[in-house]
Structure 1
Amino acid sequence: MEQRTFTAPLFAPLSAVGRFGVMLWAGFFLFLIGFSSPLYSGGIREVREPEIEGVSPLSDTPLPEDPLLLQGNLPNGLSYYIRRNARPENRAELRLAVKAGSVLEEEDQQGLAHFVEHMAFNGTARFPKNSLVNWLESIGMRFGPETNAYTSFDETVYQLEVPLDKPEILDIALDILVDWARAITFAPEEIEKERGVILEEWRLGREASSRVRDTQYPLLWKGSRYAERLPIGKPEVIRNAPPERLRRFYTDWYRPELMAIVAVGDFHPAEVERRIREKFSWESSSQPKSLPVFPVPDHGATLISIATDPELPYSSVGIYLKQDPRVPETFAQYRNELVGELFFSILNTRFSDISRKQGSPFLFAGAGKAHPIRPKQLLYVSASAEEGGIKRALEGILAELRRIQLYGVSTQEVERAKADIQRQAEQRAKEQHTLSSASFVRSYVEAYLKGTPIMGPEYAFRVIRHLLKDIQPPEVAQWAKPFLEPANRVLLVSAPEKEAPHLPSEEELRALLAEAARATPASYQEEPAITSLIEAGTLKREGKLERTGGNVADRYGAIEWKLENGARVVLKPTEFKADEILFSAFSLGGTSLAEDEDFLSATFAPDIVEQSGLLNYSSTQIEKYLRGKLISLSPSIDEVALRFNGSASRKDLDTFFQLLYLYLTSPRYDEEAVQRYLDQVRTSLRKQENSPEERYAWMIQETLKGGHPRSLPLNSERLSRVDPKKAYAFYRAHVSRPDTFTFVFVGSVKPEELEPYLRRYLAAIPVLQAPEKPAADREKDTGPAAQTPYRTVAERVGAPIDRGVRFRTEPIQKTLKAGKEPKSLVTLYFTGSWDWSLKEMSYLNLLEDYLDIRLREVIREDKGGTYGVNVSITPRRAPVPEYSIEISFGTDPTRVGELLGILQEELARLKRTPPLETEVAKVREQRLRLVERGRKENGFYRYFLTQELYYQEVDRVLGRTSKREGGNGQSSGHSPLPGTLFDLWEETARSVTPQILQERIRRYFDESRMLQFTLEPEIPAKRQEVRPIRP
């Protein structure tokens, strides 16, 4: 349950966001998604093949509609959208969409639209109190991922996912939707309990970004009710609103003519339609209120807001254009939307190129379109600035807009963007029979609320392919012009308070905007395009391979090869998706191979390579070459392994292997790109020092492993110790040992199709293929000579080294006083060593699921003390078996002691008295449902296969024996054991008992080793006001 706000991303390249959670891009708050009216109200219609390719792209011909969608209206006005879809099997996705959000609230109702949504889970006519959630959990559905809701300005949407293996489940699920639509009970005692939960949700959202939003919203939506109706509402209303006020909002706006039922799943649509007609055909109110419209006034001059906050971790500037919604209904209108998509794609590519260069005017920048409220859509261009660099950042984004206005965009840029859009549509059409039900549900809800077209994957691809053909560069460039004109334009600036003296004034910003519209920047120059990653004929020799089989592979129905160079490859062919190949790889060693003085450099090794590029190509050139191809591939590193993860389509498999080959043989070092990247990280780290939450996380991290130098949080000072040349050399050393790699492929590829790629690209890679010091003629292309003993690291690859990093086991209590908002964060850790086994890992996962449910009930539902309790159990295998258990929640500072006492008493009670069987049954059913679904998904197979192969290799190199048994079970290696991790998860789910969970609570929750961390507001705990430093 949530109130829907989201941040507009700045389209930073994925590779620029480091493993350390460093925020290297910053968006400006693009506000709540809003929606519009229904697209179609026709009932069952005759399916006729539409004319597409022969329609003029500029015609007013209506767009074709999805022939597999059953759509209609009941006499009372309720709409419905129904489609059969068998992914996942025996499941249904259900939604109740209501055109009632916070904008409809009266002055004394602010926050009650969201409050009503919460009460839907706390008592209805058929499901009193919390019995609704209990029933859903009893059939294996999880509260949050599969049962949830959100409230925005213009709508409230309820979500259910249910299994269909029992015929009564769908009927009961539809009854839940009926109750949500007309029979929420609003029991006074449940309202009182839920007040605390919603206030904690409000408290959780109180941070610098929300304070800035609160001060700038009134300007963005100036003269409109939307400026005064944030969905979270006002705390005083939430605290004091009587039940009848909630009922009044519910009665006024929860009406069938403002609702839609969306049902997609493995069922017969006609039967579901019959049930909907039976259950939802009640009479509407005799005197319904008309749905009001709250317009946003136009304005001729640019509106400007400048706000600062002492805790804001970034500086940003954004240009926002307010427009009437343009919902495409015809070919011509949809074509115009595609022109806009091409424009934003090209602009974002240019921003990405600029941000990677030394001297870039901004850290990151991005552009796009959003529909946050019903009466307006937003076009936006925004940038994250260096410290003191707001003016330069604004000049940078304006210069690019002006450049496009003056010189246009190139045919090459347009064709790349076209290829990207068309390929994504093509892939969706190819996968239309294996797409998830959730993806169809999202589009149907959007169609009802926004009026967006519902063409279906096949028709959408054909329409997009047809309309893209004749779009020319001059049309695309025209989209830049409105950003340089003042009408309905809003300029929003936000920055940390310490930067206030350096911020431009409103007058300076106006002058800058005016100058940009007259400027004549130089034309755009881009690097030469790549025509291929590896020229034909470059690889002279193919390597050898042999099918070897293996216990792990055999148990998963997979094929295993041993390559000539010693590498291991495992393939699990599947038919779950028509065209999806998932990939992972690992080589043991990781950062443990680096000495303490080189550890930080080693952690940056994959990032340095990703920023630099491959062979003689920059990362920018490679990204552009991959446009229009469905390929992802990126390296990462942790304490024990260097890893790769990626995916590809069958069509792009050759290019994928070329990319993988270059990652393994030809990493590049680009001094300019690397230094720019490190500057971005450094700036972000400095700004994060303003954030109380980041400082709190740093305090925990530096304590959790006893202050070991390899486990300290990254900050500006530690970043200065990173030697990028050592990082590059470390990466080269690690990938120089293909004999230590295990490669895993899962998906729609056959072994005979994969083998030619294995021979050509992987099997012939030599071991230790690079010299200790790159030759002089290679220096220019690939980087500096190694700054660490290359061969020493290379020879260590294949086995992690125990560097003595351990979880702290001595008890400690630490408190950080930071932040102005009246909120606290509480985090508990329990750590220690454990007797590792796959079975015990599975039981610990079940324990985590149980505690998530139980602590939510005790602390959130019963006490109203928090919005949510997070439980995370992390068992690790190497270099030594250790575990950590984290329990965390946010709350009112005055309730920290009370809730901590309740939590500790609950853990103590569970040590004395085992959980109830009904509680364990929920966890059992949820796990069985997860396994049932996972057996039909490539992602689960990739994860489980990789995990088993990884543990097998760890045991081999460390001279240990892997165990599938837990507790008193017999230790035995992988080879004689049948079954997969799917089977083990199912086995432990069926065998788990209250006593098994109780025994593990006793074993792992040792309060004599408890680590307790608390974030408290500064004293006095006075609410910090955002400073709108200029009107």
Structure 2
Amino acid sequence: MFPYLRSARSALLALSIFAFATPAIAQQAPAPTSGQRPVQTADDPWLYKNSDLVHDDAWKFGRLPNGVRYAVRKNGVPPGQVAVRVRIDAGSLMETDSERGFAHLLEHLSFRGSVHVPDGDSKRIWQRLGVTFGSDSNASTTFTQTVYKLDLPSATPAGLDESMKILAGMMYGPNITPETLNAERPVVLAEAREQPGAQTRFQDAMFDLMFAGQPLAKRKPIGTTETLNAATAQTVKAFHDRWYRPERAVVIVIGDLDTTLLEQLVVKHFSDWKGAGPAPQTPDFGKPSTTGATTATIVEPTIPQMAMLSVSRPWTVFSDTVIFNQKRMIDLVAIRIMNRRLESRARAGATFLAAGAGLDDIARSANVTSVQVMPVGENWEAALKDVREIIADAIETAPTQAEIDRELAEIESSMKNRISTAPVESGVSLADDLIQAVDINETVTTPQASYDIFKGAVDQKMFTPATVQEASKRVFQGTATRAIVNLHKPDAQASVKLNAVLSAKVSGTGKPRADLAHVKFDALPKLGAPGTVTSRQVVLDEPKIERVAFANGVTLLVRENSSETGKVYVNVRFGRGLRGLPSNRPTPAWAGGGALVASGLGSYGQEELDALTGNRQIGFSFNTDDDAFVLNAQTNMTDLSDQLKLFAVKLAAPAWDPNPVNRVKTGTLSTYAGLSSSPDAVLSRDLDGLLHSGDPRWGTPSREQISALTPENFRQLWEPLLATGPIEVSIFGDLKTEETIQAVAATFGALKPRPASAAVSGGARFPAHIAKPVVRTHTGQPDQAAAVIAWPTGGGSSGISEGRRIEVLAAIFRDRLIDQLRSQAGVSYSPMVASDWPVGMPDGGKIMALGMIPPDKTDFFFKLSREIAADLVAKPVTQDELDRAVNPLWQTLLRRSSGNMFWMMLTNGGAGDPARIEAVKTIGIDYRQITPADIQALAVKYLVPAKDWSMVVLPEKAKKAPARRR
């Protein structure tokens, strides 16, 4: 199937903890060596068996005599990189009851060491090749597969050869010994312990209900504590020998090397792999059951009240054909229309805060239509009833052709954009897309072929009111219909109420469809006459960036570069950002991200804006930076003028629809309890505020402050912020410079001169040193805690070079903490060390170490962190350790530097602050010309014991009773 349909099918609600995504257990990776003799291989387009889709001939498909299937492809995005994926057709659904979690455990063990690599050496070898541990090298285990991933950032034939040797050895010869098992088992148990309890319990209850009678209900990839503790080297090796076989493996290699070489390396390193014992049969994943409970309730006060309805059918994706895709496209249009109606109702003020439907194939076990509903307040019955009415309306009454055409126009726009940007699609994206296709019995084809399939369906008039109405009926018919509700307090009648809502007869709302045909860009408020350019200069030669000033004070940074075909990035910075907000009192600024864009502009609200931009390559995002508010989007040269007009009108003539403000308020209050539900939730709520000495510009507002939000005080804050202060427009990408300057002149250059706005607040204040950690508590799992230690550094554009070098220090600190806290002690799965140097603030930077750990290990975390800091102060690091930190950082920068967004981020704010432009020129020196002595000097300067600050998040003393389920 083509990627558009796969990605669009489930892009619905931003309620990620309830999404029907297949759980994936992430892990980090290993290193390289040499090879075997080549053997004969066969060209074999195995991916397209039983498919009539156009083959993507850029891929070279083959099969080795031992059964290993492979695909190789040359791709130069980003330059120099090669991405390798090794997929094993074995996930948690292949486990027996006593093996639960073994597929994921084996993934961990494979990375520790193998026949070619001693225990622990993989990471160090790959770091020397510029690989970032956990980003460029990782793996994932799902219900149906285990995928090993390696992205070599600057791949040489020798480095790739060594890497392929290591990966092959990990597949057929991992070191599964009592010693490696006992070393890695605590890491896996730590990963299980760190999962969010309430969300996990809800998902468990949901899977128990919706996949009752199928292995999927009881086969989470993480496994169970009991089976993981009972695992032995012998039992894990038995699982490996049974499932890690060449005929169950797919090897994908794509990158900036010749295809023939890539194929030769697959042949060289994977041909001698032989399976151990007889080949197993893939177990039967079962079918949705018609018997059993149809409803369930669970009480989890720390996650939003939520109702979920599902309609399940047997999974039947046995061949990927043109007609299969076209029929699914009709289903997709039906779902899109439903979701648009649901969102329109929610925006206007309804009984539900958010609702959405999705159509997904789940783990080769079922095809599922799911509906998620978040009620306003406690009345989930009314919300679910109203959502059912909207669905019934779609089933009973055919949509208008205008509604269908709107969805088709958006789909077509997206597909055309993918065609135009196909030349710059990264090898990583293409490799991951192919892996996904293999996992769900589908194929890949070219963007043009995908579009041709779509246009073929349009030309055949497959998208009519009758066919879309029939699809609306079809996606809500199935083997089993079930529903689950999460409550915030026990209700003995909840199951009875839920059954009553499900069985109640509902009919369509009968409300007329909104007619948005009148919505045009020409109807937006008029701007003034095009502005005059007062100066123009090249501020950076390599890459070439120009600064253009207009008579009204607006400045433009522009870079014409066609390396990303069809992509133009737009960033509009205005006002003073956090520095323009008061530091001595709370404000409604926190609601800006959710409500400011949705509040509309001119006479248009969010509904009209969607209609205006849906079939165009136009975006509209907002965020707050240290020293500016930011509107940003990705567009193209054709749509650039209207993109700029939309942003300019937002500043000149904003609308103040109260519904988005009320919706943000209600939604934030509904999720507020979750901010105490786990250590990481408490950190997300409190840490930023604490690290800024309680400054209200950072951190999370209190429940009382959220409750005090009104449309009136929201407007009172934001109206003057939109109207004052400097404007810097940055436009980088596949553009024409002269036309771009004219477009800015006609929009932002046409605005009236804006009143100046001085920064009303200073920089950030790092908290004072404390002898004992600040203590916060959480209401979640009693075996979960978190610990944080931080040291102040600095900020400001004059110190950018120093900030970059501190990143290297932090990378070395992080590597040591991971080795000692995770790999050796097994105390934490995901410890981290990060550096923050705020360019838009004169201070407020920090180095911070953080770990999710058991409650009794907090002292150990602080002791270890301070010992690492003291050692970095006491003596220089080795050159090898420095190289293993610098190389991945530098390779990441090189990869990003091939994209225009990288240079835009570096120069943001540079129109008014030349130091930011000058700092671009020293980036190579800052990262590459750094010595062990420099690292030690930075540690001496910043890792000062008398200045550190620490925090712990511990479970509440009274253990809460387990959630009740009915």
Same fold (TM over 0.5): yes
**Take 1:681 and 1:800, find their aligned partners in 2: how far apart are those partners?**
29
Deviation (angstroms), 1:935:
2.5
The answer to whether residue 781 in structure 2 is matched with residue 820 in structure 1 is yes
Deviation (angstroms), 1:921:
0.5
Say which SS state the counterpart of residue 889 (structure 1) adopts: strand
- Correspondence for 1:715: 702
Amino acid at match of 2:655: R
Deviation (angstroms), 1:384:
1.7
User: Structure 1 residues 565 and 607, CA, compared in 2 at 3 Å: closer, same or farther?
Assistant: farther
**Take 1:850 and 1:416, find their aligned partners in 2: how far apart are those partners?**
52
Deviation (angstroms), 1:730:
4.0
- Correspondence for 2:306: 315
**Take 1:845 and 1:93, find their aligned partners in 2: how far apart are those partners?**
25
Within-5 A mapping of 1:144-543: 144-282=134-272, 283-285=274-276, 287-299=278-290, 303-326=294-317, 329-358=320-349, 360-469=350-459, 470=461, 471-482=463-474, 487-496=479-488, 498=489, 500-501=490-491, 505-516=494-505, 518-526=506-514, 528-535=516-523, 538=526, 541-543=529-531
Contact 1:80 / 1:262 at 8 angstroms: preserved in 2? yes
**Take 1:560 and 1:256, find their aligned partners in 2: how far apart are those partners?**
57
The answer to whether residue 952 in structure 2 is matched with residue 1014 in structure 1 is yes
User: Structure 1 residues 348 and 597, CA, compared in 2 at 3 Å: closer, same or farther?
Assistant: farther
**Take 1:747 and 1:346, find their aligned partners in 2: how far apart are those partners?**
34
Contact 1:126 / 1:179 at 8 angstroms: preserved in 2? yes
**Take 2:168 and 2:520, find their aligned partners in 1: how far apart are those partners?**
57
Within-5 A mapping of 1:404-803: 404-469=394-459, 470=461, 471-482=463-474, 487-496=479-488, 498=489, 500-501=490-491, 505-516=494-505, 518-526=506-514, 528-535=516-523, 538=526, 541-551=529-539, 553-554=540-541, 556-595=543-582, 599-605=586-592, 607-685=594-672, 688=675, 693-711=680-698, 713-737=700-724, 740-768=726-754, 794-795=755-756, 797=757, 799-803=758-762
Contact 2:557 / 2:911 at 8 angstroms: preserved in 1? no
Query: 232-241 or 78-87: which moved more?
Result: 232-241
Contact 1:9 / 1:26 at 8 angstroms: preserved in 2? no
Query: Could you give the per-residue CA deviations for residues 766-807 of structure 1, whole angstroms, max 9, x where no partner exists?
Result: 114xxxxxxxxxxxxxxxxxxxxxxxxx44x2x323357522
**Take 2:437 and 2:70, find their aligned partners in 1: how far apart are those partners?**
11
Query: Could you give the per-residue CA deviations for residues 387-444 of structure 1, whole angstroms, max 9, x where no partner exists?
Result: 3122122112211110101112221221111112122221111222211001211221
Contact 1:614 / 1:668 at 8 angstroms: preserved in 2? yes
Contact 2:519 / 2:611 at 8 angstroms: preserved in 1? no
Contact 1:311 / 1:691 at 8 angstroms: preserved in 2? no
User: Structure 1 residues 289 and 999, CA, compared in 2 at 3 Å: closer, same or farther?
Assistant: same
Query: Could you give the per-residue CA deviations for residues 208-230 of structure 1, whole angstroms, max 9, x where no partner exists?
Result: 11122223322222112222221
**Take 1:699 and 1:682, find their aligned partners in 2: how far apart are those partners?**
16
**Take 2:261 and 2:478, find their aligned partners in 1: how far apart are those partners?**
54
User: Structure 1 residues 591 and 146, CA, compared in 2 at 3 Å: closer, same or farther?
Assistant: closer
Contact 2:795 / 2:842 at 8 angstroms: preserved in 1? no
State the superposition RMSD in angstroms: 2.9
Deviation (angstroms), 1:547:
4.5
- Correspondence for 1:771: none
User: Structure 1 residues 672 and 535, CA, compared in 2 at 3 Å: closer, same or farther?
Assistant: closer
Deviation (angstroms), 1:689:
5.2
Contact 1:401 / 1:484 at 8 angstroms: preserved in 2? no
- Correspondence for 2:821: 859
Amino acid at match of 2:510: A
Say which SS state the counterpart of residue 410 (structure 2) adopts: helix
User: Structure 1 residues 530 and 596, CA, compared in 2 at 3 Å: closer, same or farther?
Assistant: farther
Query: Could you give the per-residue CA deviations for residues 854-873 of structure 1, whole angstroms, max 9, x where no partner exists?
Result: 21112111211110211122
**Take 2:599 and 2:16, find their aligned partners in 1: how far apart are those partners?**
19
Say which SS state the counterpart of residue 106 (structure 2) adopts: helix
Deviation (angstroms), 1:550:
4.9
Query: Could you give the per-residue CA deviations for residues 496-540 of structure 1, whole angstroms, max 9, x where no partner exists?
Result: 3x2x23x85333322322224x43422343253443123499556
Paired residues in the alignment total: 937
User: Structure 1 residues 706 and 170, CA, compared in 2 at 3 Å: closer, same or farther?
Assistant: closer
Say which SS state the counterpart of residue 680 (structure 1) adopts: helix
- What is the percentage of aligned positions where both structures have the same residue? 20
User: Structure 1 residues 688 and 921, CA, compared in 2 at 3 Å: closer, same or farther?
Assistant: closer
The runs of 5 or more residues in structure 1 that have no matched partner are: 1-5, 14-23, 35-40, 49-59, 769-793, 953-961, 965-973
Say which SS state the counterpart of residue 159 (structure 1) adopts: strand
Say which SS state the counterpart of residue 430 (structure 1) adopts: helix
Contact 1:859 / 1:899 at 8 angstroms: preserved in 2? yes
- Correspondence for 1:839: 801
**Take 2:154 and 2:764, find their aligned partners in 1: how far apart are those partners?**
48
The answer to whether residue 31 in structure 2 is matched with residue 43 in structure 1 is no
Contact 1:813 / 1:1013 at 8 angstroms: preserved in 2? yes
Query: Could you give the per-residue CA deviations for residues 600-647 of structure 1, whole angstroms, max 9, x where no partner exists?
Result: 134445644312211101111111221111111223234532222211
Say which SS state the counterpart of residue 671 (structure 2) adopts: helix
Within-5 A mapping of 1:69-108: 69-108=59-98
Query: Could you give the per-residue CA deviations for residues 187-244 of structure 1, whole angstroms, max 9, x where no partner exists?
Result: 3322211111111100001411112222332222211222222110111222231111
Query: Could you give the per-residue CA deviations for residues 712-761 of structure 1, whole angstroms, max 9, x where no partner exists?
Result: 531220124445334334433333347x1111111000112213212221
Contact 1:26 / 1:383 at 8 angstroms: preserved in 2? no
Query: 807-816 or 417-426: which moved more?
Result: 807-816
Query: Could you give the per-residue CA deviations for residues 283-333 of structure 1, whole angstroms, max 9, x where no partner exists?
Result: 444522222223134316872111112433443433343432336522221
**Take 2:292 and 2:395, find their aligned partners in 1: how far apart are those partners?**
21
- Correspondence for 1:109: 99
User: Structure 1 residues 590 and 368, CA, compared in 2 at 3 Å: closer, same or farther?
Assistant: same
User: Structure 1 residues 550 and 486, CA, compared in 2 at 3 Å: closer, same or farther?
Assistant: closer
The runs of 5 or more residues in structure 2 that have no matched partner are: 1-6, 26-40
1:881 pairs, out of 824, 833, 843, with 843
1:1002 pairs, out of 940, 948, 960, with 940
Query: Could you give the per-residue CA deviations for residues 470-506 of structure 1, whole angstroms, max 9, x where no partner exists?
Result: 211221222332565573222122233x2x23x8533
Contact 1:10 / 1:27 at 8 angstroms: preserved in 2? no
Deviation (angstroms), 1:25:
7.8
Deviation (angstroms), 1:1019:
2.8
Say which SS state the counterpart of residue 145 (structure 1) adopts: coil
- Correspondence for 1:969: none
Contact 1:866 / 1:889 at 8 angstroms: preserved in 2? yes
Query: Could you give the per-residue CA deviations for residues 815-844 of structure 1, whole angstroms, max 9, x where no partner exists?
Result: 233323311111122225578512101111
Contact 1:317 / 1:385 at 8 angstroms: preserved in 2? no
Contact 1:425 / 1:464 at 8 angstroms: preserved in 2? no
TM-score where L is the length of structure 2: 0.91
Contact 2:288 / 2:314 at 8 angstroms: preserved in 1? no
